[in-house]
Amino acid sequence: AQSVAQPEDQVNVAEGNPLTVKCTYSVSGNPYLFWYVQYPNRGLQFLLKYITGDNLVKGSYGFEAEFNKSQTSFHLKKPSALVSDSALYFCAVRPYYGGATNKLIFGTGTLLAVQP
């Protein structure tokens, strides 16, 4: 079955320290990979995506993610965390079905808490 796993329900980090939010996936074919962020009582906002090319992709608010095909991972990273980064982060994958579809499979989300 095609799936996305976010192994950590919550990640705690001190402001100014680097952060990593983990994501692994299991899909057939070449995946499209995404990170979304959700602030309290808001909809999801797109952060970044990997389609093809350079394994390190950069996105909004200083976030970046590294695609690792051999480990089937797409971890989200930031060199220096801000308190304002505290939010719920979702990893998502778009499997290649070979048909007209743009559906995403979402992970269960990781709550990032950045302490001042």
Partner 1 sequence: NAGVTQTPKFRILKIGQSMTLQCAQDMNHNYMYWYRQDPGMGLKLIYYSVGAGITDKGEVPNGYNVSRSTTEDFPLRLELAAPSQTSVYFCASSYPEGSGRDNEQFFGPGTRLTVL
Residues that bind partner 1 (CB under 8 A): 9, 32, 34, 36, 41-46, 49, 51, 90, 94, 100-104, 106-109
Q: Could you tell me the smallest distance in angstroms from the CB atom of residue 85 to partner 1?
A: 19
Minimal distance, residue 32 CB to partner 1, in Å: 6
Backbone angles phi, psi at 61, to 5 degrees: 60, 25
Residue 17 CB, nearest approach to partner 1 (Å) = 26
Distance, in Å, from the CA atom of 19 to the CA atom of 15, rounded to the nearest integer, reads 9
Which residue number, 2 or 80, has a Cβ lying nearer to partner 1? 2
| Tokens 């200083």 -> residue | 62
Residue closer to partner 1, measured from CB, 43 or 53: 43
Amino acid at 87: A
Residue number, 103 or 116, with CB nearest to partner 1: 103
